[in-house]
Amino acid sequence: MERKESLNIKSSLVLFIFFMVGAAGYFLNGPNELFDALTPYVLLGTGILTFAASDIYKDRHFIYWFIITYTVILTIEIIGAATGLIFGSYYYGNVLGFKVFGVPLIIGFNWLLIILSSFALASAITVNKSLRLIISPVLAVIMDLLMEPVAVKLGFWNWENDIIPFQNYAAWFIISIAVTAFLMYLNLKFNKFICISYYFSLLIFFLILNLS
């Protein structure tokens, strides 16, 4: 038990350090080539660390949840970016790395982490499954509210006329409900501590950069 607690603390500390270094770099210097080049790798690395430390990959249903939800989210993003009908009119810059049909592959992965960590935090707030199904998407949308202005500032993506539509948040709330419901249906077992650490590390990252 002590070994597991130690691993939780160490993994959480690594996540926090990565995000705080990024926040400090962007806060002090603004967008720059080094941090832009590292961004997709940091998102991938911190995500892999979170999945690994949470032990979620040991659940035999994880691969189904991951593949299905990643594919669905990426497909929705591709349709949304191409048509503007789902989230509003927007397009991705080049900071987030390799793109398929104009959408960075890391986007689907990043949203899986946000929804999973939101669910972990919701689970810590209440044991009521119906409340979790509402609180989790609310937490994901709160993250998106803080993320959007920073993402635009850093060139991750851009909105038409520089206006972030309410439609975007409504769409992500609905998508998060669906993904959370699937997660609950599969009843995936994982260590929620590290996922909650991921949520707050990312939250603080965006809070800091919203002040810059």
Residue 140: predicted pLDDT: 97
Q: What is the per-residue burial (b if ≥16 Cβ within 10 Å, else e) of 171-182?
A: bbeebbbebbeb
Residue 71: predicted pLDDT: 96
Residue 3: predicted pLDDT: 60
Rounded Cα distance, 156 and 172, in Å? 17
Residue 24: predicted pLDDT: 86
Rounded Cα distance, 4 and 10, in Å? 10
Range of the domain at 85: 2-210
What does the angle CA 43 – CA 71 – CA 96 come to, to the nearest 5 degrees? 30
Domain count, the chain: 1
Q: What is the mean pLDDT of each successive set of 10 residues along the chain, which is 212 residues long? A: 69 89 80 80 92 91 94 96 94 92 94 96 94 96 95 91 92 96 93 93 93 81
Residue 173: predicted pLDDT: 96
Residue 211: predicted pLDDT: 87
Neighbours of 120 (CB within 10 A): 25
Residue 136: predicted pLDDT: 97
73 touches 179 (CB < 8 A) = yes
Query: What single string gives the DSSP state of each residue in 131-155?
Result: HHHHHHHHHHHHHHHHHHHHHHHTT
Residue 162: predicted pLDDT: 87
Rounded Cα distance, 91 and 85, in Å? 13
Cα maximum dimension of the chain = 53
Rounded Cα distance, 30 and 27, in Å? 6
Residue 29: predicted pLDDT: 73
Residue 111: predicted pLDDT: 95
Residue 65: predicted pLDDT: 93
- Tell me the backbone φ, ψ of residue 165, rounded to 5 degrees: -75, 150
